[in-house]
Chain A
């Protein structure tokens, strides 16, 4: 690290020859599925992946500003396509999953979760946690869902905005909000600390998620991208609450 910094300052790239970990920027909804995919022999021997999680909008911005990511797993297909249009990423990438929205409540709350629409309209929900719709796709899907159900006005001023969908779920676990509209994959990961019900997919535009390789991505990153298309990876994603694209 120290040597690398010194050499960086003198313009020498020390790491060009040595095997280096590649960095994957991934939407927060993959926070729990991705380490499992990596463990499922998703990498060539000797290769090492570093995962950076955040809202797709934030990660997109960082890529545009020059962040050294080699793979971008975007929960917002449009952002991945924009990178392709700007020639920052290779076309066409891969739609690896479709995300689902879930209503999540803390395990201790007594709220009937039979029907997701009725549950969401319950007066017990005083504050609702969602991801920031300005840069997080799940936040946008949550706003759309509220709009379709005629609840946008009801929740005006009572929305708790997370930096990304993981943080929104965290607000629910910590009691900052009675409920949250979050990624199903995150609601799964909360285990017995929370209960959830899947929201109907018809209430918002599909959360299609696209993987793209950033220009200059190395062989290890390409191998990882190829593995994301495999049946094995799809199985892990399905277990974490993602839907197969096209199904």
Chain B
């Protein structure tokens, strides 16, 4: 009844996306939190794009880049012996782009919440920038980083439009749980669609509860 292959594929995609994207989110989020530069608003707008764009727009451009007709898609296939579109690797690439704001924004907020006095104190006490980052900033920002991980993970599980356009619904390769639900409904197989839907509902609820739990002390500290 339960399509374990699809569920496992979704979890793997979510884990890969979070593992690859959160380190980038830490670098980008911290830079955006601390630095002032001319084009900052433009960069922030660019990062937020996947939040406001329909996933089909993203899917369209990704296909235009990754497809066999496109120079990049052809080069990838020549180099690696398999196409990028309609493969798991392609899904990871698309998922990374679709999730950029979910990784960067909570992490940026967390670094912004660190009082400048704390960072200055770290500098004046002679800590190297790396040690100040690892021992002072990271521990203070961990809730935001964990929030980024959870958000990216949960949002990847829910991704549908992009996966539909560049995935091709291949079992065990690109047919994620969200796509499998759509497939099963079309095949009149409501029992399988129901089982997968219940699984995603449970995961989404747990993830959201974790997010709220992570956010609470942060908000209370700000208020105080």
A interface residues, Cβ below 8 angstroms from B: 1-2, 4-5, 8-9, 11, 13, 21, 23, 28, 31-32, 50-54, 62, 64-68, 164, 166-167, 169-170, 173, 189-190, 193
Sample 7 A-B pairs with CB under 8 A, ordered by A number.
A1-B88, A8-B89, A21-B172, A28-B186, A68-B87, A170-B188, A190-B188
Q: Is B160 an interface residue (CB 8 A)?
A: no
Contact of B168 among A62, A169, A189 (CB under 8 A): A62
Contacts of A50 in B (CB 8 A): 170-173
Q: Is the CB of B83 within 8 A of A68?
A: yes
Q: Is the CB of A66 within 8 A of B170?
A: no
Q: Mask for B65-91, Cβ within 8 A of A = 1, else 0?
A: 001110001000101111101111100
Q: Is B178 an interface residue (CB 8 A)?
A: no
Q: Is the CB of B68 within 8 A of A54?
A: no
Tell me the minimal C-beta distance from A24 to chain B in angstroms.
10
**Known pairs A64-B69, A68-B83. 19 more at Cβ < 8 A?**
A5-B16, A5-B92, A9-B80, A11-B80, A13-B82, A28-B186, A50-B170, A50-B172, A62-B168, A65-B67, A65-B86, A66-B83, A67-B83, A166-B187, A169-B188, A170-B185, A170-B186, A170-B188, A173-B188
Q: Is B96 an interface residue (CB 8 A)?
A: no
Contacts of A166 in B (CB 8 A): 186-187
Contacts of A11 in B (CB 8 A): 79-81
Q: With A and B bound together, what is the CA distance between A170 and B80 in angstroms?
A: 40
Contact of B86 among A68, A170, A173, A190 (CB under 8 A): A68
Contact of B170 among A31, A68, A164 (CB under 8 A): A68
Contacts of A28 in B (CB 8 A): 186
Q: With A and B bound together, what is the CA distance between A17 and B88 in angstroms?
A: 19
Q: With A and B bound together, what is the CA distance between A4 and B186 in angstroms?
A: 31
Tell me the minimal C-beta distance from A155 to chain B in angstroms.
23
Tell me the minimal C-beta distance from B6 to chain A in angstroms.
12
Given A2-B12, A5-B89, A65-B67, check contact A52 B168 (CB 8 Å).
yes
Number of interface residues of B (CB under 8 A): 32
B interface residues, Cβ below 8 angstroms from A: 9, 12, 16, 63, 67-69, 73, 77, 79-83, 85-89, 92, 168-173, 175, 183, 185-188
Q: With A and B bound together, what is the CA distance between A67 and B80 in angstroms?
A: 15
Q: Is the CB of A52 within 8 A of B170?
A: yes
Tell me the minimal C-beta distance from A14 to chain B in angstroms.
11
Tell me the minimal C-beta distance from B210 to chain A in angstroms.
24
Contact of B68 among A4, A13, A66 (CB under 8 A): A66
Of A8, A53, A64, A173, the most chain B CB neighbours within 10 A belong to A8
Contact of A62 among B12, B80, B86, B175 (CB under 8 A): B86
